Structure 1
Amino acid sequence: MYLENLVFDAVDPQRLGRFWEAVVGGERLTDEPGGFETRLTVEGGPVLDLCFQRVAEPPSKLPRLHPDLYGGHRQQEEVDRLIGLGARPLDIGQGDVPWVVLADPEGNPCCVMEDRAAYVDTGPIAALPLDSADPDSDVGFWSWLTGWIEAPGAGLPSLRHPSRRGPLLELCPERRPKDSPKNRLHLDVRLEPEEDPDGIAVAIAQRGGRELPRDRDDLPWRIYADPSGNEFCVLPARS
């Protein structure tokens, strides 16, 4: 398996997708009424598709997964650029912190990060912080799921593509247990051709995850929750 997609639920996929495409310098893949996709390619590292699917519900105020963007020494310039693209300042009670919190055009929080040694060679997305009930345990689950390896020195249990390039996947202590609403952002992993979908389902359950019901039986992917309740999808192998 490998990590393929960062998926956003969106009231207006085209508007939100074009914003994020401009943010990360993505390559457009799909622009259809029901969805929008753009590809972020980190040179020498991972390829991550940002996918935007239409939903009716507005975003929650405290998401369990959000993007941290690389600012570094040009942090204020990056903040100004994002505001020019349609972002706005956002107060989520962060207080006096060295990063800047913004909201994208649909209100999803994102942070523009200060300079950190851990963010060398990340590309435009510095990190993907994911809330966890047990970060030290969940980092092992996500490493098995994505093939990413532990990234020391990040300050939190974190993973990174084996190339040591591209964003960090950071497991953060959750502020509250996962409740019923679906996460506004989630990750998709893709099976390799030799991997058996039913065998992967068993292995996910053995590691503390669980399979979730699908809205339609004809969907080609299967939906799961990690041990902390965060949704993710397992996509079939490419033919």
Structure 2
Amino acid sequence: MYLENVVVDAEHPQRLGRFWEELLGCSTLTDEPDAFETRLSVPDGPALDLCFQRVSTPPTPNPRLHLEVYGGEPDAQDAVVRRALELGARHLDIGQREVPWVVLADPEDNPFCVMEDRAEYAVSGPLSSLPLECADVERDARFWSELSGWVPVDSVMPGALRHPSGRGPLLELCPERRPAASGEKNRLHLDLRLEAGDDPDLTAARLLELGGAVVDHDWGDLPWNVFTDPSGNILCLLPARSVTD
């Protein structure tokens, strides 16, 4: 099993997907009216797909997962911010005060950050990190590490995980600002993909043993299963790919 997708709900998937594709230097996988998928590849590291799916609901404030873009030294960081603004982002005040990163909103008002230079970002690539709010950092780090295969690394954030190649973005488990509401649908969420030979039932059982839960949803008949992690963050467990995929 491995971490495959960052999924973003979008009112206009193509517009939002192209913004992120241009900003991060990704490659288009799917370009359809209701879905836009683009792949972020890190040399000698993982591929991570950003999937934008059409929904009718607008974004909610204070998302539990957001994207952080690598900026670097001040001049380079300024250049990334200018590029984001040219592509349709805007500055966003969330009460951050004086911080070394720059807070922006993408074209659908999802907040994201352009980060300053940090040692742990040197091997991240253009997407420096994926901060995910949680109620218990150590517990959720164990959950995500076992299920994704990503491993703990030294970072400013105590719950940081990275692909076992040692490259690519960090998954940062951050103390939550508020508990997840029951049944709350995350605007952004992560997808795990089963590999050939993985037993779906055993995998689901282990996910539950680690503190996850099954989501009772009304989103129709889906070809994957929907769970939450121990802190209530939505995640999807996708079936293994067939040989024809």
* Deviations, residues 38-95 of structure 1 (Å, cap 9, x unaligned): 0011010000000000011111110000001000011111101100010000001111
Q: Which residue of 2 aligns with 1:210?
A: 213
Percent of aligned pairs with the same amino acid? 60
Q: Which residue of 2 aligns with 1:12?
A: 12
The residue identity in structure 2 corresponding to 1:238 is: R
Q: Does the aligned pair in 2 maintain the 1:138–1:171 contact within 8 Å?
A: yes
Q: Which residue of 2 aligns with 1:238?
A: 241
Q: Give the Cα–Cα distance (whole angstroms) in 1 for the partners of residues 217 and 194 of structure 2.
A: 18
Pick one of 155, 159, 169 that aligns with 2:161: 159
SS in structure 2 opposite 1:21?
A: helix
Greater displacement, 205-214 / 44-53: 205-214
The residue identity in structure 1 corresponding to 2:142 is: G
* Deviations, residues 128-176 of structure 1 (Å, cap 9, x unaligned): 0000000111001000111000011333311000111000000000000
Q: Which residue of 1 aligns with 2:38?
A: 38
Mapping 1:2-151, distance limit 5 Å:
2-73=2-73, 74-151=76-153
SS in structure 1 opposite 2:53?
A: strand
Aligned length: 239
Runs of at least 4 residues of structure 1 off by over 2 A?
A: 153-156, 213-218
Q: Does the aligned pair in 1 maintain the 2:161–2:171 contact within 8 Å?
A: yes
The residue identity in structure 2 corresponding to 1:215 is: D
Using the TM superposition, give the Cα deviation of residue 119 of structure 1 relative to its aligned residue in structure 2, in angstroms.
Answer: 0.5
The residue identity in structure 1 corresponding to 2:17 is: G
TM-score normalised by structure 2 residue count: 0.95
Mapping 1:155-194, distance limit 5 Å:
155-179=157-181, 180-194=183-197
TM-score normalised by structure 1 residue count: 0.98
Q: Does the aligned pair in 2 maintain the 1:214–1:222 contact within 8 Å?
A: no
The residue identity in structure 2 corresponding to 1:38 is: T
The residue identity in structure 2 corresponding to 1:201 is: A
Using the TM superposition, give the Cα deviation of residue 220 of structure 1 relative to its aligned residue in structure 2, in angstroms.
Answer: 1.2
Q: Give the Cα–Cα distance (whole angstroms) in 1 for the partners of residues 171 and 12 of structure 2.
A: 26
Q: Does the aligned pair in 2 maintain the 1:59–1:108 contact within 8 Å?
A: yes
SS in structure 2 opposite 1:71?
A: strand
Task: Output the aligned Cα RMSD.
Answer: 1.0
Please list every run of 5 or more consecutive structure 1 residues that lacks an aligned counterpart in the other structure: none
Greater displacement, 205-214 / 46-55: 205-214
